Chains A and B, each alone.
Chain A
Amino acid sequence: SQQGEEDPQALSIQEGENATMNCSYKTSINNLQWYRQNSGRGLVHLILIRSNEREKHSGRLRVTLDTSKKSSSLLITASRAADTASYFCATDETGNQFYFGTGTSLTVIP
């Protein structure tokens, strides 16, 4: 089974700065999704990007996908303390089953 790998494992920035985290995966995919998890809670879906898309925006989030490099990045602009969370990418093989990485832990310092 394939799995997304996020990089870095941990990231600490000042409020107002941009945060970038990356995801690499191993085989061809249909979709890639990014999720956020606040401490001790379930995951919340942020954004889905399809394999034929290169870039997608949602509010302060920007996701890119490079299928030739099998990688994706999530950019959070003008970060806030409330953005402190773990961020996971999830990739699919069969379409019904997604594989999650180990996550990037983001800390935004007020």
Chain B
Amino acid sequence: KNEVEQSPQNLTAQEGEFITINCSYSVGISALHWLQQHPGGGIVSLFMLSSGKKKHGRLIATINIQEKHSSLHITASHPRDSAVYICAVRYNYGGSQGNLIFGKGTKLSVKP
């Protein structure tokens, strides 16, 4: 069974704190996405990675293929970072258009 597990489900932080959100998956994947969903529902793709580490501004995403685990880090968190962060993976179906399987998301609230 293909599953994507995220932790924690909910996270409250004070402005300026370093935040880590974790994602684990069960079998081999071709790509992993980190997405941000704001209260209005719109989704923004933050990262897509298949190995190593990526950084964009205050956001850092890492993936460990052997351990089937990825983390999203936010440095110097800010109230505007408050959103639901979703991990999604594309499993190795063998085709070129494998669909994404989504985690349930981590709801982050950053307090000023």
Do chains A and B stick together as partners?
A: no
